[in-house]
A = this chain, B = another copy of it.
Amino acid sequence: MMEFPLLLRTFLWRAARFFPKKEIVSVYGNEVFRYTYGDYYKRVCQLAHALKSLGIKKGDHVASFSLNNHRHLELYYGVPCSGAVLHTVNPRLPLNHLAYIINHAEDQVVFIDEDLLFMFEPVKDLLKTVKHFVIMSQSGKIPQTSLSPVHSYDELIAPFPEEYDFPVDLDEWSPAFICYTSATTGDPKGVVYTHRGLVLHTYAAGVTLGIKEGDCVLHIVPMFHANAWGGPLGGVAFGCKQILPGRDILNMEGICKVIAKEKVTFTAGVPTIWMMLYDYLEKGGWHDFSTLKAIYSGGAACPRYLMEGFNEKYGFPIVQAYGMTETAPLALAALPKSYMADWPMDKLYDIRSSAGLIAPGLEIKIVNDQGKEAKWDGKEWGEIMLRGPWIAKEYYKDPERSKPYFEGGWLHTGDVGTIDEEGYVRLVDRTKDLVKSAGEWISSVDLENAIMSHPKVMEAAVIGVPHPKWQERPLACVVPAMGQTVTEEELKEYLKDKVKAAWWIPDRFIFLKEIPKTSVGKFSKKDLRVLYAEGKLETKA
């Protein structure tokens, strides 16, 4: 068959030529900007010319410091299709990490959202390779800034032709995106996504999640986070209507309005968002979900009460997906099989609350602590290992740290889990978060889920803390539900029939106003451990 490279270019061309009337909607506070794939393509072409004018060549790195908006979507295709590499920077990273990743990636140009400028400016003097700054603003004007040389995105691209000859002779193994993991220890690690990997990821996400031209996809996952889980690239590839909600993703009233108004069929995000949405709904918040087919949840385990609540009260399923920056990210999706349709609801929620089934194209195994493949019986624990054409093979410019994670041609995910007879994966814990009590493993995740199933609890994180006799014992950090109080005794009593064994029940419960979060919104157990070690955990309550 033809040696035709797998390039994002083909998807861009398809949207432009076959779906020029389909809409892209970008929300800027109260302003709603709308245009079509026809207009989008013209600006992507202008952007490609502009990149050239800034001296960007094939393989050069270009950074975005941006949320979910239409200019960021232009960068998503414009940068890689022209042969350069888009580095999506997480603006919530601490300053030292920001400087580290931009320098480590050797970014030449940084594209910055106007309203994130204040977060970017402090890093400026630490940057070693950046030659141009481009401000993306709706006003088209450059705000007061110390950055230099600085351009306005719209002005920069305006003079250029609305056609561009995107190279078809690019190698499919060429890098298209680079994204750094939010490091819990040490410097962030860079993951390079090739054109080939992203094209295949797009197909696999399409067949797994069933996204079609007729869908309207709302991108709640930040676009700096692992290609926003593939939604924006897939949206273009399949000609979907796309909604970019800007910075307002934490405004549940706004989210509900946009779902109703734009007739959203799919959206995706971390459980934290769905907890907030559920809370908003339970307080009687206005909504109209008549077009919504499913919500995809990932990044952390979605509590079962949320799955049940959305499904039974609001009429759509939460589909849990599993992946990580290193997997582009879709690896598993928790969709029941067709013959499970008449299973009892309880068993169905067991399926829906699993990490899911492998996407077609990837391979999985679980390996126990003796280095042997664990049985698929739903009981034996093992580290989850993945391989396939959209799995990273190494960390960028970091062969030393890459070694243990990619040994033997498999990605060692650092997640411990089981696989049942039907092939569904269930996460037990992160290898490093397992609590080792008297030589036996306790899953911090199982404990957290059990605690969070208590109606008076909003969030719970469990860490292992040193113990003179048992090596480690679990410590539970609990955030009570809004307006509720809950006691240690209540929770200990509650957990009795919900944990594997009595010795799993944490000895101590600490009540906090909030659990510290990582830059991508996950519980930061690292921060909890530091606070505990410094004796500061109690005082945070």
Contact = CB atoms under 8 A, between A and B. Distances in A.
A207 B389 contact: no
A455 interface: no
Interface stretch (A6-14, A103-111, A150-158, A520-528): A6-14
Interface string A335-354: 10111000000000000000
Contact of A194 (B1, B210, B214, B328): B1
A143 interface: no
Nearest to A361: B10
B388 A18 contact: no
B203 A1 contact: no
Contacts of A1: 192-194, 196-197, 328, 389-393
Contact-residue bracket for chain A: 35 or more
A21 B422 CA distance: 9
A358 B203 contact: no
B393 A13 contact: no
Interface string A357-391: 11011110000000000001000000000011111
Most chain B CB neighbours (cut-off 10 Å) among A5, A14, A358: A14
A436 interface: no
A239 B409 CA distance: 26
A440 to B, nearest CB: 30
A269 B363 CA distance: 33
A501 interface: no
A513 B360 CA distance: 49
B393 A339 contact: no
Contacts of A200: 6, 203
Given A1-B193, A203-B200, A203-B207, A18 B358 contact: yes
A393 B328 CA distance: 31
A238 interface: yes
Contacts of A398: none
Contacts of A497: none
A315 to B, nearest CB: 20
A337 B207 contact: no
A188 interface: no
A423 interface: yes
A397 interface: no
Given A1-B390, A11-B361, 17 more contacts: A1-B194, A1-B392, A2-B391, A2-B392, A2-B393, A10-B361, A18-B358, A18-B423, A19-B423, A199-B361, A203-B203, A203-B206, A203-B361, A207-B207, A210-B212, A238-B360, A239-B337
8 contacts: A2-B409, A6-B389, A17-B376, A18-B357, A18-B422, A22-B339, A203-B206, A206-B207
